[in-house]
Every structure is written in structure tokens, then in C-alpha cells.
Structure 1
Amino acid sequence: MSQTDEFKEIAKVLAQMYAKPDAEPFREPVEWKALGLFDYPQVIKRPMDLGHIKRNLEKNKYSTVHEVAADIKLVWKNCMTYNADGSDFYKLAKKLSNSFEARFAKIAKDGGGDDTANGGNSTSNAANSSEPTLEEKRTFVKGLYKISKEELGKVITELDTKCPAALSKNNAEDEIEINVDNITPLVFHEVKGFVASCSGGSGGNGDGKKKKAPSSSSSSATGGPKAKKART
């Protein structure tokens, strides 16, 4: 898929998401003054809304579709950062985030189609888009516990950019929780490979500070493991 086609596809996805009734709260900037949310500017450092993204896209202000996607993801991330986990707005943002991630994954995958045609990487692409097993999730969580603070920071940055729905901030305890179940398959396999390469020869934390041990859920297929790690 050419870059022009990628922009057409993501513009289509954005238009469809913008038109969803559920997306109404995300179409324009949060009117925090009118709503009495006076701490909003302190919590949300870079506000973003779908209308702003739509206008920027129409004015050709983005260089790549990944820049568009990053801004769309920021809309959901901001909402989930400001609103409590489990609240109506949090759940709505998470739902829209998951919907967008699934649709953008297809655009990103199709965007690499030239490599598949020329190099025969279809098997690799299929593997990277497959749903991770519970054992893979558990191995990933164990790997998070072994890597250094700096390496963990890279994982969090990657998730923050590509899959913000997988991160939950606990401001009270000053930590970030990684919910493995919320990581899309493509992103999971990317960060899993990075963690595996880092944890293979690393047995310490790298900074001499204790990290909270990751906790795993039961072995049920729906209850994936979570990892709680100190904020970097």
C-alpha cells in the first residue's frame, strides 16, 4: 500500500470514528473551565481531540499515518489518564481505543505489503498478527521483571505510542500498570521480542532499586497477566 493509500485509509477510519455517536465527547477540546475541571491542564499536558486531528489531516499537516495514529491514540489516552479506571468515560475511551487499534493494525500491516511481495514474509506477518497465548503473556510478564529500568522505560514509551490502552497510571502510588490483555497482537509481538532480547542476559534491575513483582491472574483464557512496574 502506498503512502497516499495509507492516508486515504486512515482518513476513512477517522471519519467513521468521528461519526460514531459514542465519539461525541471526543470531537472537540474538553471545555474544562465550563465543566469546572480546573486540574485538567495540570493532568493533561497535551490535549487532543478528533476534530483537531481531522482538520490537520485535511490540511496535510501529517508526514506519516503513524503521526495521525499517535494523535488519535492520544485522545483515548488523555481520557483514560484523567478519568478513573472503571468510570463511564474511561470505559468508553478504552472501547474506542480498542476499535481503532484493530483497524489501524490492518493499515500498518498492509503498508508493509511490498516486503511481503518481494521477500515472502507473509508467514512472519501472520505470526506477528496472531493472538498471543497465555503462556506467551506470562513469559512476557516475567521478562518485564528482569529488565532494567531504562529498558522498561523503552517498553512503556513504545506502548504509550502504539497502544496506550495497555497502560494505566496509578497517581497515588506513582506507578504505571501494564495490562497485557489490552496490548494488540502486532504490538505485543514487537515488545515481546525486545523484552526477550533484553532479559536473556539480564538478571538485575539495573538501578539497584526494588521493583514491584508482576502479578499473574489465574490460568483462565480470559484473565491475562498484568505487570505493575515503577514509573520511569
Structure 2
Amino acid sequence: SARKAPPLWMQACDRTLRKLLRHRSAWPFTDPVDPEALGLTDYFQVITSPMDLGTVRAKLESFGYTGAEEFVSDVRLTFDNALLYNPPADRVHQLAGIMSDCFERDWVKEEAKLEAKGVRVSVGR
């Protein structure tokens, strides 16, 4: 039997995520933070909902999202966590800012494409 193509919103999420993962500043965000290995003893006190792009990818590939809103929320959480935990002078904080801007720019374009095809997505920032 022919496999049905994923819904348009899922294709948009996939395109956006692939682009993010290819970005040269993505390296701190591709896997879950390992506080023990990094000696970040207070990480889980500060960050109550850890998230990373690898986890987002696994969730997307296993159809764990019911809509684009949840995907966008997890991607934003990834960068918001890094911005919250790491002080502004820290490299990871700076990279999170770059990646966040890149994501928001890309997502606006994907959202416009979806809306042009009649798919409504409401993920206001």
C-alpha cells in the first residue's frame, strides 16, 4: 500500500528542523544537556523542562506532535532554556540567540506557505 505523505504542517516542521540542525551554531542544541558531564549541578533547579533539537526530531519522526504549535513550542523551549541558564557573555547563550532568530525567521516563511495552502497555524510569539 502506498504510504500517505505526512500532513503539510509536519512537512513544514521537518524542513525547518533540518535547516536548524545544519546551522553551524546548532552544535550545543542537538542533544540533551548532560549536567553531570558538564558539571552543571544546578541545571535541573533552573531548567524544569529540558528540551533539545535531537529530542524534537525524534518526537517529530515518531508522530509525537499533534500540530505545528507543539513543535514550535519545543523548539522555542530549547533556545529559551539556553538563554535562561547561560549568562549573556557565555558562548552558548549567544549561539542560542542566533539559533532562535534563525528559527523565528524560517518559521514565519513556513507559516506563510502553509496559510497560502489553507492550513491555519497559530503560534504567535
TM range (shorter): 0.7 to 0.9
Contact 2:25–2:98 under 8 Å retained in 1: no
Instruction: Output the CA distance in 2 between the equivalents of 1:15 and 1:24.
Output: 13
Structure ranking higher on relative contact order (CA contacts 8 Å, 6+ apart): 2
Q: Which residue of 2 aligns with 1:31?
A: 34
Residue 100 in 1 paired to residue 103 in 2? Answer: yes
Instruction: Output the CA distance in 2 between the equivalents of 1:18 and 1:96.
Output: 10
Q: Which residue of 1 aligns with 2:77?
A: 74
- Name whichever of 60-69 and 10-19 sits farther off: 10-19
Residue 59 in 1 paired to residue 62 in 2? Answer: yes
Query: Among 11, 14, 19, which residue is 1:16 paired with?
Result: 19
Matched residue count: 116
Ranges of 4+ aligned residues in structure 1 off by more than 6 Å: none
Residue 50 in 1 paired to residue 50 in 2? Answer: no
- Structure 1: 5+ residue runs without aligned partners? 116-160, 164-232
Q: CA deviation at 1:109?
A: 2.5
- Listed one character per residue, the Cα deviations across residues 181-220 of structure 1 (whole Å, up to 9, x for unaligned) are xxxxxxxxxxxxxxxxxxxxxxxxxxxxxxxxxxxxxxxx
- Listed one character per residue, the Cα deviations across residues 52-84 of structure 1 (whole Å, up to 9, x for unaligned) are 110110000101111111101110000000011
* Code of the aligned partner of 1:51: G
RMSD: 1.8
Normalised by the length of structure 1, the TM-score is: 0.47
| Identical pairs, percent | 30
Q: Greater strand share, 1 or 2?
A: 1
Residue 109 in 1 paired to residue 112 in 2? Answer: yes
Q: CA deviation at 1:110?
A: 2.7
Q: Which residue of 1 aligns with 2:3?
A: none
Equivalent residue of 2:7, what SS? helix
- Structure 2: 5+ residue runs without aligned partners? 1-5
Instruction: Output the CA distance in 2 between the equivalents of 1:55 and 1:7.
Output: 13
Q: Within 5 A, what are the aligned runs for 1:151-166? A: 162-163=124-125
Q: Within 5 A, what are the aligned runs for 1:66-215? A: 66-113=69-116, 114=118, 162-163=124-125
Normalised by the length of structure 2, the TM-score is: 0.84
Contact 1:47–1:75 under 8 Å retained in 2: yes
Q: CA deviation at 1:162?
A: 4.6
